[in-house]
Chains A and B, each alone.
Chain A
Amino acid sequence: MKPKVAIFDLTDCEGCEVQIVNSKFIDRILAGVEFVHFRLGQRVNRWDNFDVAFIEGAVITSHELELVKKIREHSKLVIALGSCACFGGIAAITNFMDKEEAKRYVYGENADKIETLYIKPLPEIIKVDFMIRGCPIVPEDFERVVSDLFAGRIPREHTRPVCMDCKSKGNPCQLLKGVACAGPVAYGGCGAPCPSAGVPCDGCRGPLEDPQITAELELLKKIASKDDIIRLFRKFAPMAPIFKEIGGGKL
């Protein structure tokens, strides 16, 4: 029997789903699983029991809040896909603002007709079995997790900072150039595309389990303003533990 898979997207940019399509495995995935629920990819979708449900995106509406609870009830395993699901994602920046004012700025007098909840990371709402991090996720991570799951293994977390990815690429260090970089405290495994392109890491994959945050902040304070440090951590994973505190102004 093919594994029964569901892919759900909440409010987000769908970039992580695009990365699934970009996977080298995509033809094997298309042939090897049964998509029971996959709104983006097919017409008929059912609420059978899923072996694995991937949830991409942030919970922004009450419909989505109900939906994730329903997904949890129907699925053996729930995987959070990308920083929106894992850490609230970019839209959670509005958690640090006056939300009513933020809505008014976009919708004017109709602001009250728009529903936007305080955006929580998925694991604060339902039990999540594994997180595939990143904004966007990298296809290799997805491939690794899927192979592990289908082989009956529990996928493993990376444990090294982005700096390690950076070193293996031979990149010149942004911090040494005086540019604020979140790499030393951010969760690696992305291949460091940002420093490789000559821009700092924004920590989109969230913090390492035991980040050397005091040392990082000491360093950053020497080269960046308080506002810039807040901006750095209040970006793609703003509701991740520790990032939330720094992005919230606790420096």
Chain B
Amino acid sequence: MIYDEFVTQIEGHGRIYFEIKDGKVVEARLEIHEGSRLFESFLRGRRADEVPQMSSRICGVCPVPHNMAAIQALENAMGIEASEQVKMLRRFMLSSQMVQDHALHLYVLAAADYLNVNGVADVYAKYPEAVKRCIRIRTVGNRGIELVGGRAVHPVNSIPGGFAKLPTRADMEKIAKDFKSIMNDCIETFNLFASLKYPEFERATEYLAIDDGKHFPVYAGKLVTNKGLNAEAKDYRKHIKEEFKPYSNTKFCTINGHGFHVGAIARVNLFKDRLNPTAKELLKSSPIKFPSDNPFHNNLAQALEMVHYCEEAIKIAEELAVKLKDEERPKQTKAGTGVGVVEAPRGTLIHEYTVDNNGIVRDANLIIPTGMNTTNIEEDLYALLTANVNKPKEELKWLACQLFRAYDPCLSCSTH
């Protein structure tokens, strides 16, 4: 039994296959058919300074994390230490991306599931105010990325060592105001998603996010989980295994042989104590509590994060509006291997590059959030179908798609 069309309202092309025999689920598979572009191959032979821009083309929906993970990895490889100000600007760009991207997923892709309509055009016809809210949020999120990165989709301005061109203090003051103007929209988004009815389903699993010891996860840190993993990012290969399955172009990731979950729900489950004040307050009043083991609650976690990252963007922009200064960009090129980790909207993202003495990339390895989630999605699918096995086939198909969509998967990213 196969959901024979590609699953709709997700980035990229994938199908769900499941088989039920004598009232039992005997197979539940995630088949990712997105073509493989072979980024890891063709990034070899490129100059380190052009790689971050090229890497961002892995995903036009969340280009900033790819850009940032590549820069961080290349800096680590070449022995460059970015300044505190540069790191703040990077956290600002990532926060802007989170706000903008979560709005896209929640309103354009996921909302139709919960409002029970065909798609985004119907959401607009019935709830124009909600879509307009989405547009307002996205406009400001995009403006934030553009201001620091030079362009909203595929930033051009961020390079190893820092930025080709810095914004001004006045720019930062203006953008802080812009973010303040959408704070209420973000809060309303949270209230909307807190009021929805999510399918009842729970399955305890391992949640992974990065930890820099200070911030709610976003830029750099160790790899930590709720089951006690606490590892340096550069040792990721020791803990995260990738496996090929013949029915899918995306490799399947495991920790200790089982699936794990990355993304908004993982970040909130692990680090809800580090949320910014408004987000923390909202969470207290929420009918749904975290940590949650219901994967559908990832959507609520995203809405909560929109509030948090909006506050984060305001905080950083206000601080830089006072103290942004011109800086010398550190340059250093030595050969070496480096790993970069950031949180993308969909979860932890790892880039690793080896750079030679001429500043040319010789090896590349990328692990993408959706790739990390694949095994967990299959495990969830199996459990969800088993729990609902007596429901009509059509309903099962739809529930399976909805589960898949709740992960906010990005299949183009995952096959890269």
Interface set of A (CB-CB < 8 Å, partner B): 9-19, 21-22, 26-27, 30-31, 35, 38-45, 58, 60-61, 63-64, 89-91, 93-94, 97, 101-103, 105-108, 110, 113-116, 135-136, 193-194, 196-199, 202, 228, 231, 235-236
Q: Contact: B165 with A11, CB < 8 Å?
A: no
* A205 → B minimal CB distance (Å): 13
CB-defined contacts of B157 to chain A, threshold 8 Å: 197-199
* B144 → A minimal CB distance (Å): 13
Q: Contact: A11 with B42, CB < 8 Å?
A: no
- One of B68-76, B120-128, B200-208, B252-260 contacting the partner: B120-128
Q: Contact: B57 with A13, CB < 8 Å?
A: yes
CB-defined contacts of A40 to chain B, threshold 8 Å: 8-11, 109
Q: Contact: B40 with A231, CB < 8 Å?
A: no
State whether the Cβ of B104 lies closer than 8 Å to any Cβ in chain A: yes
CB-defined contacts of A31 to chain B, threshold 8 Å: 121, 124-125
Q: Contact: B125 with A106, CB < 8 Å?
A: no
Complex Cα distance, B153 from A15, in Å, reads: 6
The CB with the most chain B CB atoms within 10 A, among A40, A90, A106, is that of: A106
Q: Contact: B42 with A97, CB < 8 Å?
A: yes
Chain B: which residue is nearest A29 at the CB level? Answer: B121
CB-defined contacts of A194 to chain B, threshold 8 Å: 150, 156
The residue that A197 contacts in the complex, of B58, B131, B156, with Cβ under 8 A, is B156
CB-defined contacts of B156 to chain A, threshold 8 Å: 193-194, 197, 199
State whether the Cβ of B270 lies closer than 8 Å to any Cβ in chain A: no
Contact code string B27-71 (vs A, CB < 8 Å = 1, else 0)? 000000111111111101111001001100111110100000000
State whether the Cβ of B246 lies closer than 8 Å to any Cβ in chain A: yes
Q: A11-B37, A31-B124 are in contact. Are A90 and B54 (CB under 8 A)?
A: yes
Complex Cα distance, B61 from A9, in Å, reads: 13
Complex Cα distance, B39 from A27, in Å, reads: 35
Chain B: which residue is nearest A93 at the CB level? Answer: B42
CB-defined contacts of B132 to chain A, threshold 8 Å: 27
CB-defined contacts of B47 to chain A, threshold 8 Å: 228, 231
Q: A18-B61, A110-B246, A198-B164 are in contact. Are A60 and B37 (CB under 8 A)?
A: yes
Q: Contact: A199 with B38, CB < 8 Å?
A: no
* B146 → A minimal CB distance (Å): 9
Chain A: which residue is nearest B47 at the CB level? Answer: A231
State whether the Cβ of B306 lies closer than 8 Å to any Cβ in chain A: no
Q: A40-B11, A197-B165 are in contact. Are A231 and B46 (CB under 8 A)?
A: yes
* A79 → B minimal CB distance (Å): 17
Q: Tell me the residues in window 10-28 of chain B with beta carbons closer than 8 Å to chain A beta carbons.
A: 10-13
State whether the Cβ of B189 lies closer than 8 Å to any Cβ in chain A: no
State whether the Cβ of B292 lies closer than 8 Å to any Cβ in chain A: no
The residue that A13 contacts in the complex, of B9, B60, B112, B246, with Cβ under 8 A, is B60
Q: Contact: B120 with A106, CB < 8 Å?
A: no
Q: Contact: B12 with A198, CB < 8 Å?
A: no
Complex Cα distance, B40 from A102, in Å, reads: 8
Chain B contributes a number of interface residues (CB within 8 A of A) equal to: 64
State whether the Cβ of B142 lies closer than 8 Å to any Cβ in chain A: yes
CB-defined contacts of A93 to chain B, threshold 8 Å: 42
Chain B: which residue is nearest A102 at the CB level? Answer: B41
Q: Contact: A199 with B42, CB < 8 Å?
A: no
By Cβ-Cβ distance, the 5 closest A-B pairs, closest first, are A15-B60, A42-B119, A60-B35, A197-B150, A11-B35
* A9 → B minimal CB distance (Å): 8
Q: A42-B118, A106-B40 are in contact. Are A61 and B35 (CB under 8 A)?
A: yes
Complex Cα distance, B357 from A115, in Å, reads: 34
State whether the Cβ of B90 lies closer than 8 Å to any Cβ in chain A: no
State whether the Cβ of B373 lies closer than 8 Å to any Cβ in chain A: no
CB-defined contacts of B159 to chain A, threshold 8 Å: 199
The CB with the most chain A CB atoms within 10 A, among B61, B132, B153, is that of: B153
Besides A15-B61, A136-B60, A197-B150, 16 other A-B contacts (C-beta < 8 A)? A15-B60, A18-B61, A27-B124, A40-B11, A42-B120, A43-B118, A90-B54, A97-B42, A105-B40, A105-B44, A116-B36, A193-B156, A197-B156, A197-B165, A199-B156, A236-B57
Q: Contact: A64 with B41, CB < 8 Å?
A: no
State whether the Cβ of B6 lies closer than 8 Å to any Cβ in chain A: yes
Complex Cα distance, B246 from A187, in Å, reads: 42
The CB with the most chain A CB atoms within 10 A, among B34, B57, B112, B131, is that of: B57
Q: Contact: A41 with B9, CB < 8 Å?
A: yes
Q: Contact: B9 with A15, CB < 8 Å?
A: no
Q: Contact: B135 with A26, CB < 8 Å?
A: yes
State whether the Cβ of B152 lies closer than 8 Å to any Cβ in chain A: yes
Q: A12-B412, A13-B58, A18-B104 are in contact. Are A97 and B41 (CB under 8 A)?
A: yes
State whether the Cβ of B151 lies closer than 8 Å to any Cβ in chain A: yes
Q: Contact: B12 with A14, CB < 8 Å?
A: yes
Q: Contact: B38 with A42, CB < 8 Å?
A: no
Complex Cα distance, B112 from A179, in Å, reads: 48
Q: A13-B59, A43-B8 are in contact. Are A105 and B41 (CB under 8 A)?
A: yes
CB-defined contacts of A115 to chain B, threshold 8 Å: 35
CB-defined contacts of B246 to chain A, threshold 8 Å: 110, 113
* A19 → B minimal CB distance (Å): 6
CB-defined contacts of B120 to chain A, threshold 8 Å: 30, 41-42
Contact code string B129-151 (vs A, CB < 8 Å = 1, else 0)? 00110010010001000000111
* B152 → A minimal CB distance (Å): 7
Complex Cα distance, B120 from A18, in Å, reads: 14
Complex Cα distance, B157 from A1, in Å, reads: 44
CB-defined contacts of B10 to chain A, threshold 8 Å: 40
